[in-house]
Amino acid sequence: MLAGKRVVLVDDSIVRGTTSKKIVEMVRLAGAAEVHLRISSPPTTHSCFYGIDTPERGKLLAANHSIEAMAALIGADSLAFISIDGLYRALNKGDRDPVRPQYCDACFTGEYPIPLPDMTQNDTRQLSLLSETH
């Protein structure tokens, strides 16, 4: 069914890229001539410290590679993400207010709603909200 076809895959996000790579490989094995990937979130460039289980920043594909490099690593002919403003417009919020964002979007922007006191710019440790001592 896919033999010789140009295929556009839509996914919600790319975090490490491992799942996307496998899906693109499967579509190519099914005979697709081209595989284009479209992502319905901005690139995930920062870890979440507020309850979403994301890897440390060093393991986030978008934190370490350009979009073109990500496409090559995943094996897609092209890769595109929605912009942060496009995401806000899709939610009927207009463009993102950079002074007072309407939502927490730190995983996309790196602008955390509260300071992370035990993290520095070059620190790769994962912040935990759970106390390790009682």
pLDDT, greater one: 38 or 54: 38
Quote the pLDDT of residue 116: 73
Give 37's strand partners: 9, 79
Domain residues of the chain, as ranges? Answer: 6-109
Q: What is the mean pLDDT of residues 74-102?
A: 95
Maximum CA pair distance of the chain?
A: 61
CB of 55 within 8 A of CB of 47? Answer: yes
Q: What is the mean pLDDT of the chain?
A: 89
Show Cβ contacts of residue 94 under 8 Å, excluding neighbours closer than 6 positions: 88
Q: How confident is the model at residue 122 (pLDDT cuts 50, 70, 90)?
A: low
Cβ atoms of 95 and 48 closer than 8 Å: no
CATH topology of domain 6-109: Rossmann fold (3.40.50)
Q: Please indicate, yes or no, whether the overall pTM of this predicted structure exceeds 0.85.
A: no
Q: Mind listing the pLDDT tens digit for each residue in 44-82?
A: 999 998 888 889 999 999 999 999 999 999 999 999 999
Give the span between the Cα atoms of 31 and 41, in whole angstroms: 28
pLDDT tens, 15-27? 999 999 999 999 9
Structure tokens at 6: 């140009």
Please tell me the least confidently modeled range out of 11-25, 62-76, 79-93, 108-122.
108-122
**pLDDT value for 131:** 46
Other C-beta atoms closer than 10 Å to the C-beta of 34 total 14
| 3-state class (DSSP) for residue 46 | coil
* Whether pLDDT at 119 is above 80: no
